[in-house]
Amino acid sequence: MQDKLFNIKKVLAMIVFIAVFSLMGLSTGKPIMVLAYAVFFVLVSFGVIITIRKKQRHFEVSGNTNPMLKKIGGIVLLALALISPLYVFSTSNLLNTGKDVNAVFLFTVFGISVLFLGLMFVAVKLINKINATNLNRALGYVLIIVASIIPGAIVASIDRSTTGIGSTYYIALAVVILAWNGFGLISNQE
């Protein structure tokens, strides 16, 4: 019974994951893109599941992968984490900036992304430190809260619409996931 409940939770989590991320298709202004995003995430999830099934046995991570390939993959993921906000904000209509996107705007987005990732990285390190005191952990959680406020606060000064702020948090979530997985591959931490 416990295994069935575990599998049901996994399937429901996957459905919610795909549904939430497919809503990013609404940012394009074309409702059909929700379906396109859903298909994309279903295919990616299926590919990840197949890869994990081949590489793992009984939930044990196999260590027979090439370390250089992992580092290259990690660098690519970190680069995507830093470049994706630039790409999204320069090519989509997520933010109503009222002006053309210029180099200063893109540099600002890049700087905010670096600041956001830096704060999140320091926060997680403070929380997960082996001999961390309660003060360090509390400081780590405060840094996570501050880092989480930054994207919304900055976007609210440009575009107060729920689409602009919500889309910014979708992008921030994607950036954190890409960056953390990239860092995990580079530092060989699963």
The packing angle between helices 103-128 and 67-91, to 10°, is 140
CA 163/CA 118 separation, integer angstroms: 26
Count of alpha carbons within 13 angstroms of residue 93, beta-carbon side: 6
Contact 97, 160 (CB under 8 A): no
With cut-offs at 50, 70 and 90, classify the pLDDT of residue 57: low
pLDDT at 142: 92
Q: Taking 80 as the threshold, does the pLDDT of residue 176 lie above it? A: yes
pLDDT at 96: 64
pLDDT at 143: 92
**Which is it for the CA torsion 22, 33, 38, 109, positive or negative?**
negative
Q: Taking 70 as the threshold, does the pLDDT of residue 190 lie above it? A: no
Q: Dihedral through CA 174, CA 130, CA 136, CA 139, nearest 10?
A: 10
How do residues 131-171 score in pLDDT, each as one tens digit? 878 888 899 899 999 998 888 888 887 777 777 777 788 78
**Secondary structure (H, E, C), the chain:** CHHHHHHHHHHHHHHHHHHHHHHHHHHHCCCHHHHHHHHHHHHHHHHHHHHHHHHCECCECCCCCCHHHHHHHHHHHHHHHHHHHHHHHHHCCCCCCCCCCCHHHHHHHHHHHHHHHHHHHHHHHHHHCCCCCHHHHHHHHHHHHHHHHHHHHHHHHHCCCHHHHHHHHHHHHHHHHHHHHHHHHHHCCC
Contact 185, 77 (CB under 8 A): yes
pLDDT at 56: 57
How deeply is 95 buried, as exposed, middle or buried, from its count of CB atoms within 10 A (0-12, 13-18, 19+)? buried
Structure tokens at 16: 């919610």
Q: Taking 60 as the threshold, does the pLDDT of residue 63 lie above it? A: no
